[in-house]
Amino acid sequence: MLDLLEVAAEPNRRRLLQLLARGESTVTELAGAFPVSRSAISQHLLLLAEVGLVSARKSGRNRYYSLEEAGMARLRQAFDSFWTHELDLLVADAAALNSRTPHPDPPTPQAGEL
């Protein structure tokens, strides 16, 4: 599996990325937040590393994983590239239909946002 978006989309890996956004962490620490084994988490991390979304630093007998910023930027670009202008228009319509909450930020094509 080489596809960036597909790799990042898997629920456990998504969660891993979010946890790592808080800061670097070991496999065991991360695994504590999941119902599955360390092994499973380790393999998810290896896959994330393979596509350049994370990297590891060895210290003692621990390996500290952390987000690879350039990779995450590529992920962001991939999603933005997927989310074409047509989709923006469609979703804007949908939001107008079923929301009494006046959209505060979301549909605004902010520079750093989206």
Partner DNA sequence: CTAATACGTTAGCTGCGACTAACGCATTAA
Partner DNA sequence: TTAATGCGTTAGTCGCAGCTAACGTATTAG
Site string for its own copies, 57-96 (x = CB under 8 A): ----------x-xx-xxx-xxxxxxxxx-xxx-xxxxxx-
Would you count residue 114 as binding its own copies (CB under 8 A)? yes
Contact partners, residue 37, CB within 8 Å, separation at least 6: 31
Please classify residue 13 by burial: count the beta carbons closer than 10 Å to its beta carbon, then call 0-12 exposed, 13-18 middle and 19+ buried. buried
Which parts of the chain fold into alpha helices (H)?
Answer: 4-9, 11-21, 27-31, 38-50, 69-82, 85-97
Which of the choices its own copies, DNA, none does residue 1 contact, using the CB cut-off of 5 to 8 A by kind? DNA
Residues that bind its own copies (CB under 8 A): 3-6, 8-11, 14, 17-18, 21-22, 67, 69-70, 72-74, 76-84, 86-88, 90-95, 97-98, 103-106, 108, 110-114
